[in-house]
Structure formats: structure tokens, C-alpha cells
Structure 1
Amino acid sequence: MIRSLTAGAARHAWKVILLWVMLGVALTLVGQAKIFGVTEPAVGNFLPKSYDSAAALQVAEDKFGEKPDDNAVTVLVARKDGHDLTAGDRKRVDRVAAVLGKRPLKAENTEDTPSFLWKDHSQTPKVAPLTDAPDGSFRLLSVSLTGNINDPELQELYRDFRDDARKEFAGAGLRTGFTGGIADMADTADDQESTEMLVGILTMGLIVLLNVLAFRSVLAALLPLIAVVLVGGAATGAVVGAALLFDFKIDPSTPSLITVVLLGIGIDYFLFLLFRFREMLRADPAGHRRDVAGACAGRVGAAVASAALTIVAAFATLGIASFGQFKVLGPAIAVCVLVMLAASLTLMPALLAVTGRAMFWPSKALRKEPRAGLSARLGERVARRPLLFVVASVGLLVALSAGAFGMRMDYGTDAGTDDTPAVATAKEISRSLPAGVSHPHTVYVAAEGSDARGVRLDAPKLTGLTEKLKAVEGVGRVAEPVLNRDRTAAKVDFYLSVDVQSQRARDLISGEVRSVVAGQAPRGTEAHVSGEAAIFADVSEAVRKDLRVVFPVAAALIALILVLLLRSLLAPLVLMLAIGLGFTATLGSGVLVFQHLLDRPGVSFTLPLVLFLFVVALGTDYNILISDRIREEMGRPGSTRQAVAAAVRHTAPAIVTAGAVLAGSFASLAVNPSPATQEIGLVTALGIGLSSLVLSIVLVPAVMALLGRATWWPARSGRRRAAAHGAGPAAPVPAQQPPYGTYAGQDGRSYGTYAGQDGRSYGTYAEQEGQSSARGRSPR
């Protein structure tokens, strides 16, 4: 089916290209316009309702009308001269706050986006007094803006309010500071804008440079990147469309991860095709470009499809997770990979069919056979001394894996940079008020069950709760209870005196605070705790449960796919052991760097699971490619070690180039202000490097050289099987072909890789009179 699909795409190349351009442009526009309408910025909303903080958020929404997309900004107002506020100053603060709370903010469609794709965030902010500093040095105001905190349009609306507030208070002789979620986000975006643009340019430049070095061609350097960006936009649009259609939300980090994954694997798949396309054009100089493109994509397409389906299966297992952030991330990336797979089997062959040999202009590489380079020498050495390379590779991976011992999880929030105005304001507030004043926690008390209408709450009924809460060490201040309109629910705000993002805060909330709340809740009511520390305490529990389920299910599913793909039991075992070692080595390296060298509290709680899926699934691509080529070479006449050497020679350049592109794409996440995203980017880049440079071109080929054709047990690898699957270019096979080589020349002799027009061989191996030579022969 794959061969028919790729051949059809090559025959109708221009129609296929036009269809993809139309789909890509349309879905990109939809995706960019609607992406913030389907993202869920509140981590707590990803928790199952059975968790305490999720139940608290539900009470807040049902009983107090609080919206999940309300964004609180804390505004600090103080005198410019540094003196304490006077009574007159406080009146002026309240007067200006009242004016700001009545002044509408108007959003403008500056990019002239069609009205049906543009969301109008125009609104009137809610401004209310919050508290005063004990020493009278400042007054705090609370401001609420509604919308998705990640939406640049809402951030621009916040900036309008901020600038307006500064101007109004400055006119009254007062200075202002702003902190809180959207203030942090806007300041970080401003601080990182130029850096992110520069990194994006450098990433694109890296991809182009690597392609230029690999192919010495302008078109081969630019066309894959253009195609992948087009398909990436279509894939993101498909995810957004699915989210709108099936009414689910995705995490704000998902779009950036999707971009990186698609850029990496898309370039990978295109590189696999380009290297094989060039190889087949050399072997068949008279072949028509459409025939060669269709045959090339059909041969490589089988390995690409298998690799892509492995990634899809791995990420699809996240659908069984209980934590919604994982539950949605997996299927979203799976959908994107399927879109990229469809493009790999249709758009990419069509582009090859249209460009043909012009794809490699102005390089003259098609006119001559390549000399034995670094990859050929590596293949020879691995084939000659496989045991040495196995021991060295396993030793390196085990040493890096040791770093995972003592790993700690960090459930802190994704703080931005620590030198923005919002951070400075938060520090100023914390010098006079409890550390958690800008991140309050709340106890929600509500009548439960069928007795809800019969229960009425008042302040005296909550006295025991508030007094006990004040006595908890680590709780800095407890506010007076606030009742809802029908007095069936109450909320009690309290502020921690410890860092709300610390493990101490999470232990405090999940331990003593929740014990007090449960014990002091009035009869006939249920009480729940919400707030940053409460949410992440529950997230940590949900993640621990999911890790115990997703890891084994994903590993079993990947192993099953490899068994079905390779039709073998031993080869999948080799690959699973290799990628397992690669995962533990990558995780250990991440722990060494971030937990020990950088002295962070631990690695991000999302890192082990996301890393497992990225490194295992994406790294499996390279293992499948090398394994598929080794099996193809073993199906030709010659010894096992000759087959391994030839496979490494032909495949290593594609794997190394693709690995560098994918690792570079992930490394670009290092400039993201989120520590969790930084860790995922850098550690995954390291894992991809290990997969491409150690596992795929050294460890796996060395193990297969030791095992020989038993690697494919219980299947058999032979000439009939290779011929049945169309391995290699069509060439006349002599009746008495010697047992070596990859392609047969017109002179009837076999050569390690290619036979030149002069009849001499330019391969990895050439045998004469039963004697093997690792270097072969090359023209003088």
C-alpha cells in the first residue's frame, strides 16, 4: 500500500503539491487564530475532580461565580519619595482605583484578522482594594482581567491598563508596581522577545547549514525546511480543529512542543528520503526522476511509516493518564505525527519527482561515486570489532544512568526570569507582608449532598476553622470568612509565610492544613483547599500514579509494534534494551546537570514521562532505520559483518544529520522562560544525541554483527526475501554472483556499494579470490 501511495504521489506530483499548499495555508490560519481558545492555562483544571484542589475550584465556580479564566494582578501603590502613605494618599489611591475600575479597555485587531477568527478581549477591569503594608509604606490593589493568560491580545490589553494606571497614579504623585500571573507573563514576553526571535533564526540557520554540508545544494537545504513549516502549520491547525470539534483543552506548552517535534521529525524524514534518493540516482543514472522518486519513497516509506507509528503509539498511551495535561498532550502530538507521516508519503515524494536531479544542484556528487569517508570507516571498525564497541557503548550509558539515583521531583510552577519588574514588585511586597500574599490560598466550605438547601453558614460557625488555621505554623495571615449570596458556601483566604512554590508549602497544605480543614468543617458541609501549593500537591500525586501506569504500557506497545514490524523476537529485544539504556542515561544526565550542577530542587515533574516518550519514540526512528537497512543488506549475498558495515556506511550520514537537526530543535527550547520547558528541551536534545551517535550507529549495529542472521529469529533473511521486497535498484543479477557486495556491476562482479561506469568498485567491501578487503577499490 505504501509503494502504491508514494508512486501515485510521484505520478501526480503537481496536484499533490497544490493540495498540500492549500491545506497548509488554510489550517495554519485557523490554528494561529484559534490556538489560545483551546489552551487551558490553569494547571488545576487538568486534575480529575476527585482531587481536593479540583473540588475547591468547582465550588468557587458554582457558588461564587469565579471564572477559570480570571487573571488577578496585584498593583502596589506607594509614594515616589519613599515616605509612608498619608491619609490623603490613601484617599487618592482609592479615587484613582475607582476611576480605573470604570474605564473600559478596548482591544484592537491590529493584524486585520478576519472577524470570525479574531476574539475581542475588550472589557472593563475589576479593581478592588486588597490590603495595606503593616508599616504603611504601600497599598495593594487587586485587578482582574478575563481571558486566556497566554493570549498575546490579552497581554496587550493588560499593558494598556498598566500604562494607564501608571499615568493616573503618577499624576497623583504616586508610583506603581505590578505583579501576578499575567504581569509575570507579559514582562517575560517583553524580556524574551528578541532572544526567542534570535534563537528561531539560529535554529533555522542550523538546519539549512547542516543540509548544505550534507548535500552541497541550495534547493536541498531550503526546500525541506519550507515543506516542513507548511506541514507543521497544517498539523497544528488539525489539533486546534480537533480541540474545537471535541471540546477539549490543551496545555499552553503543547504548541511549542508540537512545533519542535514536527520540525525535528519532518526534517528527519525528508533527510532519510534525500539520502536514499541521491543513492538511487547514482545507481540508475538513466532512470526517470518520477520513477526513482516513487521507488525511493516506497522503500524508505516503510521504515518512516513504522517509525512514525511507533511515535504515535507511544504518545497515544498518554490517553490513559489521569492527569489531563498528559492525557491531552499525547493524542495531540500523535495527531501531528500522523499528519507529518501523510506528508512524508505524499508531499515529499511529489517534491522529489518535480525537482529530480535539480534537487542537488549545483553539487556534482551525482556524477561520481563517493569515497569511503568517516561513516565507512566507522562501519568497518564496528563490523570488525563488535564486542569492543558493545562494551564501550554500554559502559558509557550505564555510567550516565547512575546519575538518576537520588532523583527528586520539582513541582514548582513555571516561573519566568528573575529580573523582570513583576518579580521586583513581588520581592518588595514580600519584605512587608507574608511571602504568599500575592498567591493567596483559599478554603472553600459548602453545604454537601441533598442537605445543601437546609444548611446555612455564618461567621460564628467558621470560628473554629479560622482559629485553628491561624495556629498552623507556616500560615502567615487568615482573612475573615466571606459568604455567598444564599449563605450555602463560604471562603476563607489565607496567606502562607513560606515560599508557595517550595516543597515545604506543598507538604504544609497536603498535611496539616488539610487535616485542620477537614476536622473543623461545620457539620453538613464539605471543605476543600485551593491555591498554588494545593494544586501542585495534588498534581504530584496524580503524576506519581500515571508514571506507574504509562511507562509499562508504552514500553509494551512499542515492543509489540517492533515485533510486528521486524517480524522477529530477538531484534525487538535488542532495540528495547538499547533504547531503555538510552532513556536511563539521558535521565541520569539531566539529574546530574539540573539537580546537582545547577543546584535546583529537582527535575521538573513532567520530565521523566515526557522524556521517556520523546527519547524512546523519536530515538526508535533511528534504530528502525538502521535495523531496516541491516536486514536489507543481510538479504544480499555476503557475510553478516559486511552487511553491517555497508548499512552503517549508507545510513550513518542520514542519522547523524537528522539527529543534529532534531537535537538542535529541542535545544532551542533552552531560551524558554519556563524551567520545565528548558529541562525538556536540553535533556531531550542530549537524549537524541545519544540515540543517533551511540545507539543507532554503534551499539545496535555492533550487537547485530555479533548475533548475525539470528537477529531476525524466527524470521529468515535471505536473497529471496530481499528480492521479494524490492531491495536495491533494479539491476541484472548474474547467475553465479559471488557472496558479497551490495550492488552488482555490469561486469558480473559484485561490489560493496556501487559499480562505477568504468567497471571498478567503489564500495565498502570488494572480494577477490575469496579474500575480503575492508577498503575496496577506488579510481585513481
Structure 2
Amino acid sequence: MFGRIGRAAVLRPWVTISAWIVAAVALAVLAPQLKSTSDQADFLPSHYESVQAAKVQERAFPQHEQPAAVAVFQRADGQKLTAADRTEVAEITSRLQGLGIDRIKRVETSPQAVSPNGRIALASVVATVKDPYDPGLMKSVGKLREQARPMLQGTGLKLGVTGQAASALDSKEASGDTDSMIMSATLVLIVVLLLLIFRSPLIAVLPVLIIGLAFMVATGLISTAAEIGGLKADSSISAILIVVLFGVGTDYILFLLFRHREQLRSGQAPKQAMITAVSLVGETIASAAGAVIVAFLALLLSTMGMLRTMGPSLAISVAVALLAGLTLVPAVFSLLGTKAYWPSKSWRKQPKNAVAGRVGRLAARRPGAVAAVTGGLLAVLAGGVLGFRAEFDTTSSLPQHLESVQAMRDMQRGFPAGETDPTTVYLEKSGGPALTEGQLDAYGAALGKVDGVGQVSPAVLAGDGRVARYSVVLDHKPTGEKAIGVVAGPLRDTAHRAAPEGTRALVGGTTAVLGDIENAVNHDYKVVFPAAGVAIMLILGLLLRSVVAPLYLMVSVALGFGATLGATVWLFQNSQGKDGLLFTLPVIVYLFVVAIGTDYNILMVARLREEIEQGRPPREAAARAVARCVPTIGAASVILAGTFGVLMLAENSMLQQMGFAVAFGILLSAFVMAMLLVPALTTLLGRRAWWPGLRPAAATEPVPVRDDDRTLV
């Protein structure tokens, strides 16, 4: 099948290239735009308590307004606010209110908004939209900051704006430079590394153009599926699509070009060499892509809406990369022939590959020692996973010089940390008489006794008197681990236990949502990972026609996953003293290390099987397979790891964690697992590794084709 695909692309290159260009242009013009969404229901299922609480709020208190941001006033000298200072705060607040900034409904303060120690005064910024991450609102918060600066001159006061909208603005601005830096560095890195590997300017540039065309097609297909098929997708997926497409797309191109160059060195004509390359590695590329696709589709089993959204979108992008690798790449390079490698002449002669040869001989001659050392190294690194602590406070990773971070720290000098985003408790009575004043007071008193609760506001009743709302200010930062622990544990337990007979209590708000997300993530780890593992094993079994090989391959993959996470824990959490690591880090490692990193294992075992089928004994097959695959795997993994490694240059500590984990995991998958552990285990098992499907046979020579032929002879 793959031989026929290769022939069609190579012998009709202009038809193939034209079809891709037409598809890209048509989808770019006709496909709908991806829409952004921040609906809470898109992230958690309706059975979670925080989502139910949000629905009660919409039904019973539709006019309830939560400040989107908080302006924090203090004296520049750090002393207590004087009466004149408080008057200035009121005047500045009034002037900000009078500006009529878009999407800002009110800017208000009161005498009660001064801290008990008299050092901090607050002004609430109430928005006309409920979503604190609304782009227009974030822009308006930035404008409010700019307009406030001249108002402070001569007052002796300083002002900082914090809260959800302000933190979102700072995060976006801080990551804006990072995004452009990552994109620029990615393109430069790919071009430079390809230039060093092949010493050809055309090969350095063409993959970038090919993947760019594939990106246009993938984005158009995703947005069309979202519009027609009901697939949920978010515009924020574009950034991750770029990384995935450049990662797997470059891998598939390298797999093909290295094999093409190998066939040229054996004496085949350029077109025949490309057809043979597609025939030989097409199944490998398809299997590698299939493993990544099913791993991404396993995210559909997640209870987290953002992961269910991400899975199909990434699966579509990998499918497009696969199609491009099997059709567009052969078509483009068949037109160029050996000119694609100009000015290098490396395609004419066999390389010495001294290092690759030594690695192959090591894995073949001492498989037991190699397996023991590499497996032991992975196991030791995986031990760090036992100390993993999830960090849900994404703002803690922001650079400390940002205004929202500094203002939050200043506010905590006078108010409980939870003042910017209180937790909300709803008490709802389903039947009978309305809630009594005594019941409301007693219930509020019970909430106030929970350790970690700083203040509970008096109950606010809905119009029918059957739903009461309590605003609970925590002593801890709303998005921090301690606050999540209080809300998900003692506060919820007390809220449910103290609810009068005939009522139900629901705890909602940002902190409650994060607590439910933590539960959802823990659930997903138990469901998504095993499902993806089984699916990948089935694909490996079909590729290798073996029951044994997929088993030890998945054991090595699991060790690699643990080693990657463990090393990240050792470096960031233990050595740097971080409270915890990004809560989505295990999923990120799963997506980019386990799923994509499996490509290298698949390439290696496919070549091992090919050598065995040609009648070579296991040790010789391992030596030859490793020697032939090391350059391909090394080049592909360095490019992919370098792409993610750029994230370590960011100021955001969570981006640094992500960059290190993925880059380290990719290199671990390539240089330890694919080059050493897997060949060593395969050599130890011998022909048993391929049971029951191995049928050794002599290699057959491909039917030749002349470069100027339009049809095969």
C-alpha cells in the first residue's frame, strides 16, 4: 500500500502539490474562525459541585457582581493612611469611575475598604462582563492603570491593580514576548540544525514551508469540524498545534529523508529511491502517527473539558502531518532529485558513522549490561515521582515584578489574601417555608469557625427567600494550595454538615473550581493513561505482528514517563524549593514525551524487525539497526527537544518546568530508550521478541525506475 502511495506522489508530483495548495487556500478562505471560550462548563462536567453552584448563582442571583479587579492603594512611604490620604483615594476612585472605560461598569470604594491596620485601601473594579479573561476587559484594565498614574502625582500614594482580570492581563503580556520568542527560536533552530545535518539550504528551508502548508490545512479542518461536526475547539489551540506539527512533522520528514539518502547511496535512481523510502518507512511513519493519534484521542475520556477539546484537534493535526509526510514530502523532493542535497555530496558515499556504529556494537555485544544500566537509571529518576506535588496557582509562576503580583503582596499586608476572590457558599431550600433569620445566622457562624476562613459576610437572600448566599474570605491566596485544601476539605464538609434539614449547600467560586479540577485530574490519570497505553500497544502489535515486543516497549515507555517527571521534581521542586509543579505537567509529559517520543521506539523496532526478516541473527541485527537509526533519531530528537527547550528562557517558572520536562523527556526517549534500552532488550529476547509473527525471508530488490520515466518498467 505504501509503495503505491509513494509511486503516486513521486510520478505525479505537480498534481499532489497542487492538491495540497488548493486545499490549504480553500480551507483558509472558507473555513470558519476558531472561537475562544471560557465557559466553566467547558472545563468541568455538570456533576461537580462548583459547576452546580454557578448554576444556582445564575438562577437565584443573576445581578450578583464580583469585582473583576481590585485597586490597591497605599502610601509610598509605607506608613498608615491619613485622613487626607483616604480623601485622595475616594477622589481618585471617583475620577476613574468618571472615565467611562469600556467594559468597566463601576470603580468604587468605601470607608470600610480600609484595612484594620490602616495601611491599605481598596477600590473594586466591577466589569460589565462576567468573564474576567475577556480580552476587551483585560485591555480596559490596562487602560485604567495608565489613566490612574497621572492622578497619583503629588498625592504621596501609590496604586497597583490586581485580581483575576489584572493577573490575566499580566500573564498575557508576559507570555506575549515568550510566544514570539518561541516561534522565532523554533524556526531558527529547525533551519540551523537541518543545515548542519544535511549541509543543504533547500532541506533546511523546505520542511518549514511544508509544515506551514500542513498547518493551514490542519487549522481549517479543525475549525470546520468544530462548526459542522460539533467538535469543541478553542482558538488557544493554535499555539500548541504549531509545536505538535513542527515536532511530528519534522520527525516524519527526517525519517523519510534519511532513508531516501540511504537508498541513493545504495545506487538507486532518485525517484526510485524516494519510492523505496516511502515503501520501507511508510508503515513505520503511519504506525508512529497512529500511536500519537490514539494517545490524543484517549483525551476524549477525560472529565476535563479543555483536555477533551484538545484531543481531537491534536489528532487531526497529526493525521495531516502523516498525510503530508507520505504524499507532499515525496512529491516535493522527487522534483528536486539529488539537487535537494546541494551543495553536499554526502548522498553519494556511505558515511563512517563511527559513533553510531560503536553504540550499535555496545547494545549488541553487552545487551544485559546495557539493559541493566539504562533501566536502573530510569528507575532511579522515576523515584522522584513519589514526591510530586501539584501546583494549581498559575499566578505564582509569573515574574515577581509584574504589577498584579506586587499589588497582591501589598494587599496581604492589610487584608486576608482571599479578599480579591471570595469563595461563595449557597444554601438552598427546596420546599416548605422560607429560610429563617435564625437559621441563616447559625449557618454563617458555623462557616466562620472553619480554620482558614478569615471572614463570612451576612447572608444575602434571593427574592423568594429560599436561597441564601454567603461570601467567604479565606486567609490564604484563592488559587493557592492551602486555600484549595480549606475549600475542598473543611469548608465543604462544614457547609454540608451544618445545612439545616430540608436544604442543600453548594460551595462555589474560583477556589472551589480548582478543587474540583484537582479531583478531575486525578480521575483522568487513572482512566486516560491506561486507555492510551492499551491503544498504543495494539498499534505496536499490528506493526510488529508480535505479542511480546509491545509489552517490553510499553514498560520502557512507562519508565521513561516516570523518569521524566521524576527528574523534573528533583530539579524544580526539591533543588529549587518550589511548593509544587504545574498540575498539568503529567498530562503534558504524556502528550509530548510518551505519545510523540514513542516515534523513536517505533522507528528502532521496525528497523530491528526488518534486519531480522533479512535473515540476520539478533546481535548482528541490533548492531546494524542501531547504527542506521542513530543519526535519524538523534537529529529528530535534538530538533524536537530544542524546540521545547527554548521555553526555559522564559521568566514564567511553569513554562520553564514544561520546557525542561519535555526537552529532557524527548532526549531520554531517544538516546536512552530508543538507542540503548530497546535494542538491548530485543537482543536479549532474540527471536522470542517477535513471537508469533516472525517469518524470516530474504530481502527483495525493488523494481527499478528511470528518472525520466512516467511509469514503472
1:331 pairs with 285, 303, 312, which one? 312
* One-letter identity of the residue aligned with 2:16: V
Task: Indicate if the aligned counterparts of 1:455 and 1:524 stay in contact, CA closer than 8 A.
Answer: no
Within 2, Cα distance between the matches of 1:336 and 1:458? 58
Q: Does 1:127 align with 2:110?
A: no
Within 2, Cα distance between the matches of 1:702 and 1:402? 23
* Alpha carbons of structure 1 residues 63 and 98: separation in structure 2 relative to 1, 3 Å: same
* One-letter identity of the residue aligned with 1:76: V
Match of 1:715 in 2: 693
* Alpha carbons of structure 1 residues 174 and 324: separation in structure 2 relative to 1, 3 Å: same
Match of 1:477 in 2: 455
Within 2, Cα distance between the matches of 1:694 and 1:474? 47
* Alpha carbons of structure 1 residues 556 and 193: separation in structure 2 relative to 1, 3 Å: closer
Task: Indicate if the aligned counterparts of 1:41 and 1:251 stay in contact, CA closer than 8 A.
Answer: no
Match of 2:46 in 1: 49
Between Structure 1 and Structure 2, which shows a larger proportion of helix residues?
2
Match of 1:559 in 2: 537
For residue 50 of structure 1, give the secondary structure of its aligned residue in structure 2: coil
Within 2, Cα distance between the matches of 1:150 and 1:7? 51
1:407 pairs with 381, 388, 410, which one? 388
* Alpha carbons of structure 1 residues 80 and 419: separation in structure 2 relative to 1, 3 Å: closer
For residue 279 of structure 1, give the secondary structure of its aligned residue in structure 2: helix
Task: Indicate if the aligned counterparts of 1:71 and 1:182 stay in contact, CA closer than 8 A.
Answer: no
Aligned-pair CA distance for 1:418: 1.9
Task: Indicate if the aligned counterparts of 1:133 and 1:432 stay in contact, CA closer than 8 A.
Answer: yes
Match of 2:262 in 1: 279
User: CA RMSD of the aligned region, Å?
Assistant: 3.1
Within 1, Cα distance between the matches of 2:204 and 2:454? 60
1:364 pairs with 336, 345, 351, which one? 345
User: Which sits farther off after the overlay, 81-90 or 177-186?
Assistant: 81-90
Count of aligned positions? 698
Match of 1:220 in 2: 203
For residue 38 of structure 1, give the secondary structure of its aligned residue in structure 2: coil
Q: Does 1:60 align with 2:57?
A: yes
* One-letter identity of the residue aligned with 1:63: A
Within 1, Cα distance between the matches of 2:23 and 2:132? 29
Within 1, Cα distance between the matches of 2:638 and 2:30? 31
* Alpha carbons of structure 1 residues 671 and 45: separation in structure 2 relative to 1, 3 Å: farther
Task: Indicate if the aligned counterparts of 1:45 and 1:54 stay in contact, CA closer than 8 A.
Answer: no
For residue 341 of structure 1, give the secondary structure of its aligned residue in structure 2: helix
* Alpha carbons of structure 1 residues 614 and 80: separation in structure 2 relative to 1, 3 Å: closer
* Alpha carbons of structure 1 residues 25 and 670: separation in structure 2 relative to 1, 3 Å: farther
* Alpha carbons of structure 1 residues 338 and 347: separation in structure 2 relative to 1, 3 Å: same
User: Which sits farther off after the overlay, 351-360 or 199-208?
Assistant: 199-208
Within 2, Cα distance between the matches of 1:602 and 1:136? 32
**Identity in percent:** 35
Match of 1:439 in 2: 421
Match of 1:268 in 2: 251
Task: Indicate if the aligned counterparts of 1:310 and 1:617 stay in contact, CA closer than 8 A.
Answer: yes
Within 2, Cα distance between the matches of 1:444 and 1:535? 15
Aligned-pair CA distance for 1:582: 1.5
Task: Indicate if the aligned counterparts of 1:280 and 1:729 stay in contact, CA closer than 8 A.
Answer: no
Match of 1:198 in 2: 181
Within 2, Cα distance between the matches of 1:34 and 1:181? 27
For residue 716 of structure 1, give the secondary structure of its aligned residue in structure 2: coil
1:56-455 map, 5 Å:
56-65=53-62, 72-77=68-73, 83-86=81-84, 88-89=87-88, 91-100=90-99, 103-105=100-102, 123=103, 125-129=105-109, 131-134=113-116, 135=118, 137-144=120-127, 146=129, 155-167=138-150, 175-246=158-229, 249=232, 254-285=237-268, 287-289=269-271, 291-415=272-396, 416-448=398-430, 451=431
Within 2, Cα distance between the matches of 1:275 and 1:67? 63
For residue 164 of structure 1, give the secondary structure of its aligned residue in structure 2: helix
Task: Indicate if the aligned counterparts of 2:283 and 2:543 stay in contact, CA closer than 8 A.
Answer: no
Please list the CA deviations of residues 324-347 of structure 1 after superposition, one character each: whole Å capped at 9, or x if unmatched: 233333233222211211222222
User: Which sits farther off after the overlay, 238-247 or 590-599?
Assistant: 238-247
Please list the CA deviations of residues 12-65 of structure 1 after superposition, one character each: whole Å capped at 9, or x if unmatched: 32233233334445656889x944x234375x7512222221211122223323
Within 2, Cα distance between the matches of 1:253 and 1:29? 20
Within 2, Cα distance between the matches of 1:645 and 1:78? 71
* One-letter identity of the residue aligned with 2:419: V
Please list the CA deviations of residues 404-438 of structure 1 after superposition, one character each: whole Å capped at 9, or x if unmatched: 23333333335422221111111111101111111
Aligned-pair CA distance for 1:653: 0.5
* Alpha carbons of structure 1 residues 199 and 620: separation in structure 2 relative to 1, 3 Å: closer
Aligned-pair CA distance for 1:514: 1.5
For residue 344 of structure 1, give the secondary structure of its aligned residue in structure 2: helix
User: Which sits farther off after the overlay, 485-494 or 656-665?
Assistant: 485-494
Task: Indicate if the aligned counterparts of 1:92 and 1:172 stay in contact, CA closer than 8 A.
Answer: no
Match of 1:599 in 2: 577
* One-letter identity of the residue aligned with 1:390: A
Within 1, Cα distance between the matches of 2:67 and 2:10? 52
For residue 417 of structure 2, give the secondary structure of its aligned residue in structure 1: coil
Task: Indicate if the aligned counterparts of 1:269 and 1:344 stay in contact, CA closer than 8 A.
Answer: yes
* One-letter identity of the residue aligned with 2:478: V
Please list the CA deviations of residues 344-369 of structure 1 after superposition, one character each: whole Å capped at 9, or x if unmatched: 22221222122221211111112333
Q: What's the TM-score, normalizing by structure 2?
A: 0.89
* One-letter identity of the residue aligned with 2:550: P
Task: Indicate if the aligned counterparts of 2:182 and 2:643 stay in contact, CA closer than 8 A.
Answer: no
Unaligned runs of 5+ in 2: 706-713
Within 2, Cα distance between the matches of 1:360 and 1:373? 22
Task: Indicate if the aligned counterparts of 2:561 and 2:594 stay in contact, CA closer than 8 A.
Answer: yes
Aligned-pair CA distance for 1:194: 3.8
* One-letter identity of the residue aligned with 1:258: L
2:610 pairs with 632, 647, 659, which one? 632
Match of 2:18 in 1: 18
For residue 446 of structure 1, give the secondary structure of its aligned residue in structure 2: strand
Aligned-pair CA distance for 1:731: 7.7
Task: Indicate if the aligned counterparts of 2:297 and 2:312 stay in contact, CA closer than 8 A.
Answer: yes
Match of 1:491 in 2: 469
Within 2, Cα distance between the matches of 1:603 and 1:625? 32
Within 2, Cα distance between the matches of 1:185 and 1:79? 26
* Alpha carbons of structure 1 residues 313 and 199: separation in structure 2 relative to 1, 3 Å: closer
Match of 1:765 in 2: none
Within 2, Cα distance between the matches of 1:616 and 1:602? 22
For residue 498 of structure 1, give the secondary structure of its aligned residue in structure 2: coil
1:695-706 map, 5 Å:
695-706=673-684
Please list the CA deviations of residues 272-330 of structure 1 after superposition, one character each: whole Å capped at 9, or x if unmatched: 11111111222235x253x4333322321211110111111122122112232333332
Within 1, Cα distance between the matches of 2:599 and 2:696? 24
Match of 2:710 in 1: none
Q: Does 1:550 align with 2:549?
A: no
Match of 1:743 in 2: none
For residue 472 of structure 1, give the secondary structure of its aligned residue in structure 2: coil
Task: Indicate if the aligned counterparts of 1:77 and 1:175 stay in contact, CA closer than 8 A.
Answer: yes
For residue 692 of structure 2, give the secondary structure of its aligned residue in structure 1: coil
Within 1, Cα distance between the matches of 2:93 and 2:197? 66
* Alpha carbons of structure 1 residues 557 and 455: separation in structure 2 relative to 1, 3 Å: farther
Q: What's the TM-score, normalizing by structure 1?
A: 0.82
Aligned-pair CA distance for 1:269: 0.6
For residue 405 of structure 1, give the secondary structure of its aligned residue in structure 2: helix
* Alpha carbons of structure 1 residues 602 and 427: separation in structure 2 relative to 1, 3 Å: closer
Aligned-pair CA distance for 1:198: 3.3
* Alpha carbons of structure 1 residues 60 and 396: separation in structure 2 relative to 1, 3 Å: same
Within 1, Cα distance between the matches of 2:219 and 2:83? 52
Within 2, Cα distance between the matches of 1:227 and 1:731? 28
Within 2, Cα distance between the matches of 1:636 and 1:5? 24
